[in-house]
Copies of this chain bind each other. A is one copy, B any other.
């Protein structure tokens, strides 16, 4: 059966003239044990909620997964798709893409992401089992990881977190083939992975990766452990290839006809390319059908629940955040704000919003990378998630931004959970690869990122984001919100949670900001991405001032200064570029207005603003790194003040 995987991998890579045959051939025995005898799944229902999750962290070995999906009978994964490996529009792209292919649990390829994402899946399982009962949620998460996955730093964050949380249903199979792209692994690495995982609280062992009985025994032992488990499987890359087995030459390029012919002989595989002998296919299809009864039993258990329980479970599983519930929550937050208006940092406004949202939406699982009090992501009374309290909803991720972001992806992919968490905006750089994957996969994760400008003050340029808003806005499909006050913060939260297929960043201030919006007005003004917050008074607008976040108050003050000089100015708040670009042309035009002078204000670099205000507009912001000083000193030092905004607007108007 394993040779069927090897043959398909060789043939598909050869036909595509591109790809990675080495890993599928080397790990075929591991995968055959896993998919043939262990994994709980049913190709007839790829989305069955209680299936085991399998993550191919070594995404370059995509043909391993595609071969398994075909052989076990996933309807989408026809032989025609295998033959179209790496071609435009196929379900068999170069690296596995979750949104493209049923049976692919997460998009992998950037190394380390898979194993870290799997940690989130295992967290989700643990939490949901505690919430809904293990008769409905009781599955494992398996990972196939390569040495590259374990060299990436994110793997340390992931395994330390998993070990700490005692995620005993997480089992990592390490394809220990001793080969990386540059050659033998000893060129670059000499880590004792078993010892390293043990140091992080894992059970760990070594087996022969070509001995199915040993692999199975190790998995069965791992299933009994009270800790997450590493099984280091010693394998030969491109097992079966006559001259390239055990060599980096088989890693990332087709083997070539001669080598493939030799491998067929060595493996005793006589079928032509893309043909699986009937008996082998039958055995695989039988393996694919192993869990059919388990699924039926699960469905019966679900059906036996009360209608209410079933509805809630199915709602959560489907990722349905009801619009009416969000609307009601937003209204409730605004009502509370109307009763308690005061200056608040938007990070505090976010906590204020969460005080309503967290009770309203049990699927919200919060967290912070050891900045809980600074990020304000833990409203009072939200219990921590821990091995002893798996129903807890707040995760202490530790100082592990990258592992946190990947775990959030895993929770969102697993389903039943809408994860949010917190760090400083400047540390978005630490977790960009995972944020990018969330955007590529179209998953709803919400990153609360506070201390969003020089306004954080004394911590200085290492902690002051100046380019991060631009860099995040550059990621396709990611929504970057930068609300200006408590009302906008609540509205942006509602928009982030409503977007089932987009990740979000909420960029929030450390410093206090005035409440600019009337909390009693209904609706969601932020939904269009930008809107006129303050109209021109005393005639047509001569100046349009655009700003986001903490600079909206500066624009509002500049508008007053301009009014004193007899210049009518309006203020446009721009909480979300992406939603503005999505808005209809005429709405965008109305928001932009017709004033001859436009000035944009943001305590960050200009890049990105031209697409809204035009390259001829003036811009007041940053052109380089910040500095360490109290925030008011910095705003003065860098010239981001109402006085300067008003002066520049007036000067532009004079010049005509």
Which residues from chain B contact A371 at a C-beta distance below 8 Å?
A: 181-182
CB contact between A625 and one of B188, B476, B634 (< 8 Å): that residue:
B476
- A22 to chain B minimum Cβ distance, whole angstroms, is 14
Which residue in chain B gives the minimum CB-CB distance to A374?
Answer: B181
The answer to whether the Cβ of A319 comes within 8 Å of any Cβ in the partner chain is: no
Which residue in chain B gives the minimum CB-CB distance to A465?
Answer: B436
- Is A399 a contact partner of B151 (Cβ separation < 8 A)? yes
The answer to whether the Cβ of A97 comes within 8 Å of any Cβ in the partner chain is: yes
CB-defined interface of A427-452 with B at 8 Å, one 1/0 digit per residue? 10110110011011000000000000
**Interface-side segment among A198-206, A302-310, A341-349, A646-654:** A198-206
- Is B473 a contact partner of A607 (Cβ separation < 8 A)? yes
Distance A97 CA – B398 CA, assembled complex (angstroms): 25
- Is A95 a contact partner of B460 (Cβ separation < 8 A)? yes
- Is A154 a contact partner of B151 (Cβ separation < 8 A)? no
- A304 to chain B minimum Cβ distance, whole angstroms, is 38
- Is B462 a contact partner of A467 (Cβ separation < 8 A)? no
- Is A182 a contact partner of B470 (Cβ separation < 8 A)? no
Which residue in chain B gives the minimum CB-CB distance to A378?
Answer: B182
Which residues from chain B contact A474 at a C-beta distance below 8 Å?
A: 467, 470-471, 474, 605, 607
The answer to whether the Cβ of A477 comes within 8 Å of any Cβ in the partner chain is: yes
- A407 to chain B minimum Cβ distance, whole angstroms, is 13
- Is A470 a contact partner of B86 (Cβ separation < 8 A)? no
- Is B477 a contact partner of A624 (Cβ separation < 8 A)? yes
- A60 to chain B minimum Cβ distance, whole angstroms, is 8
CB-defined interface of A139-153 with B at 8 Å, one 1/0 digit per residue? 000000001100111
Chain A 610-630 residues near chain B, CB threshold 8 A? 610-611, 614-616, 623-625, 627-630
In the complex with contacts A181-B373, A189-B164, A198-B195, A429-B433 CB distance below 8 A: yes
CB contact between A187 and one of B112, B198, B396, B623 (< 8 Å): that residue:
B396
- Is B200 a contact partner of A191 (Cβ separation < 8 A)? yes
The answer to whether the Cβ of A93 comes within 8 Å of any Cβ in the partner chain is: yes
- Is B476 a contact partner of A607 (Cβ separation < 8 A)? no
CB contact between A191 and one of B18, B201, B458, B466 (< 8 Å): that residue:
B201
Task: Summarize A's interface: helix, strand, loop or mixed.
Answer: loop
- Is A182 a contact partner of B370 (Cβ separation < 8 A)? yes
Which residue in chain B gives the minimum CB-CB distance to A194?
Answer: B199
Which residues from chain B contact A188 at a C-beta distance below 8 Å?
A: 161, 164, 370, 396-399
Distance A160 CA – B147 CA, assembled complex (angstroms): 12
**Interface-side segment among A3-11, A102-110, A323-331:** A102-110
In the complex with contacts A153-B153, A399-B180, A627-B372 CB distance below 8 A: no
- Is A628 a contact partner of B151 (Cβ separation < 8 A)? no
Chain A 250-266 residues near chain B, CB threshold 8 A? none
- Is A426 a contact partner of B110 (Cβ separation < 8 A)? yes
CB-defined interface of A163-188 with B at 8 Å, one 1/0 digit per residue? 11000000000000000111000011
- Is B95 a contact partner of A459 (Cβ separation < 8 A)? yes
Which residues from chain B contact A460 at a C-beta distance below 8 Å?
A: 86, 93-95, 97, 109
- Is A95 a contact partner of B462 (Cβ separation < 8 A)? yes
Distance A59 CA – B477 CA, assembled complex (angstroms): 35
- Is B181 a contact partner of A629 (Cβ separation < 8 A)? no
Distance A433 CA – B426 CA, assembled complex (angstroms): 9
Distance A153 CA – B148 CA, assembled complex (angstroms): 14
CB contact between A629 and one of B88, B147, B368 (< 8 Å): that residue:
B88
CB contact between A182 and one of B154, B198, B373, B611 (< 8 Å): that residue:
B373
Which residue in chain B gives the minimum CB-CB distance to A19?
Answer: B458
The answer to whether the Cβ of A633 comes within 8 Å of any Cβ in the partner chain is: yes
The answer to whether the Cβ of A608 comes within 8 Å of any Cβ in the partner chain is: yes
Distance A199 CA – B459 CA, assembled complex (angstroms): 35
Distance A17 CA – B80 CA, assembled complex (angstroms): 68
Distance A436 CA – B626 CA, assembled complex (angstroms): 13
Which residue in chain B gives the minimum CB-CB distance to A18?
Answer: B458
The answer to whether the Cβ of A111 comes within 8 Å of any Cβ in the partner chain is: yes
Output the residue of A439, A624, A625 with the most chain B CB within 10 A. Answer: A625
Which residues from chain B contact A429 at a C-beta distance below 8 Å?
A: 432-433, 436
Which residue in chain B gives the minimum CB-CB distance to A158?
Answer: B153
The answer to whether the Cβ of A463 comes within 8 Å of any Cβ in the partner chain is: yes
In the complex with contacts A462-B440, A477-B624, A634-B88 CB distance below 8 A: yes
In the complex with contacts A195-B199, A199-B195, A608-B607 CB distance below 8 A: yes
Sampled A-B contacts (17; CB under 8 Å): A18-B458, A88-B633, A97-B460, A109-B460, A109-B462, A110-B462, A110-B463, A153-B400, A161-B188, A164-B189, A181-B371, A188-B396, A191-B199, A191-B200, A427-B433, A466-B476, A610-B611
Lowest 5 A-B CB distances belong to which pairs?
A153-B153, A93-B628, A188-B398, A610-B610, A156-B156
Given contacts A87-B629, A151-B160, A439-B625, list 17 more A-B pairs with CB under 8 A. Answer: A93-B460, A94-B462, A94-B628, A147-B399, A153-B403, A180-B370, A182-B396, A187-B396, A195-B198, A195-B199, A199-B199, A429-B433, A430-B432, A467-B476, A471-B475, A477-B624, A607-B611
